[in-house]
A and B are shown apart, each in its own frame.
Chain A
């Protein structure tokens, strides 16, 4: 009962965050509504008993990715009218599409029959580590290589560029 109450609280806050992003005009507010959604989802993970994943979500998503986005927002939002509120007919089309898609997925969820054998996953951190370095060793190493590639790529792409003297017709 209490669990259901908490579920609805977190679920409502994440959905409200999403709707607020659609109707918002200020990009910084959108970024902070995203942070609200990330924290609500972390709360949902805590509610389900996966504490480790909840704290990882907060550390990496809310404390890393969201900070990155807030930085990106603050470095590129010099002009204010980059985003206007969506017009009424746009909202209508969006609503129709969204409801159709949602109806499709929800009916698929409600009609599906999941397998009856339930294997209780242990939420122990050490089991998690053993799993990560045992069965998922390949993806683990590949993820670290991916992170190195992303780090190098982002650092190269965002390097300070020295303005060179070249004619405007010369594409580069």
Chain B
């Protein structure tokens, strides 16, 4: 197993872990944490390819854009969760099952 495959398997493991976190948690911020895991796994994947010579410097540049987008998405998601909390007084996403309000 080459070194590149080590990194790719680790990225896959992080992806699966992030997915499990999203599936198994009811707290909205825990779900956001799972999304961050998945984004970081993708980042690791791209940078592993870039540093082992495939794709050149495109990988690292794409990784920077992924980081930027993840930051923007986390900010907006947290603002939405704060509104959710203000209306429903809990952060439990199982309670957010009404389409009104």
Q: How many of B's residues come within 8 Å of A, CB to CB?
A: 74
Q: Are B44 and A41 in contact (CB under 8 A)?
A: yes
CB-defined contacts of A121 to chain B, threshold 8 Å: 50-51, 53, 55-57, 59-60
A-B contact pairs, 9 of them (CB 8 A): A15-B13, A15-B17, A22-B17, A34-B37, A44-B44, A94-B20, A119-B54, A128-B60, A132-B64
B33 to chain A, nearest CB (A): 5
Interface residues on A, range: 35 or more
CB-defined contacts of B47 to chain A, threshold 8 Å: 45, 48, 50, 53
Which A residues contact B (CB, under 8 angstroms)? 7, 11, 14-15, 18-19, 21-22, 27, 30-31, 34, 37-38, 41, 44-45, 48-50, 52-53, 56-57, 60-61, 64-65, 68-69, 71-73, 75-77, 79, 82-83, 86, 90-91, 94, 97-98, 101-102, 105-106, 109-110, 114-115, 118-123, 127-128, 131-132, 135-136, 139, 143, 146-147, 149-151, 153-155, 157-158, 161, 171
Interface of B is mostly: helix
In the complex, the chain B residue whose C-beta lies closest to that of A100 is B16
Partner of A21 from the list B6, B21, B58 (CB cut-off 8 Å) is B21
Q: Are B53 and A50 in contact (CB under 8 A)?
A: no
The complex places the Cα of A155 from the Cα of B6 at a distance, in Å, of: 41
Partner of B82 from the list A75, A82, A123, A147 (CB cut-off 8 Å) is A75
The complex places the Cα of A14 from the Cα of B85 at a distance, in Å, of: 30
Partner of B71 from the list A60, A73, A86, A98 (CB cut-off 8 Å) is A60
Q: Are A90 and B91 in contact (CB under 8 A)?
A: no
Binary contact readout B1-22 vs A (1 if CB under 8 angstroms, 0 otherwise):
1011111111011111111110
Q: Are A122 and B71 in contact (CB under 8 A)?
A: no
CB-defined contacts of A161 to chain B, threshold 8 Å: 86
CB-defined contacts of B8 to chain A, threshold 8 Å: 109
The complex places the Cα of A128 from the Cα of B61 at a distance, in Å, of: 7
In the complex, the chain B residue whose C-beta lies closest to that of A3 is B3
Q: Are A153 and B51 in contact (CB under 8 A)?
A: no
The complex places the Cα of A75 from the Cα of B86 at a distance, in Å, of: 11
CB-defined contacts of B1 to chain A, threshold 8 Å: 110
Partner of A68 from the list B4, B30, B40, B74 (CB cut-off 8 Å) is B74
The complex places the Cα of A77 from the Cα of B74 at a distance, in Å, of: 18
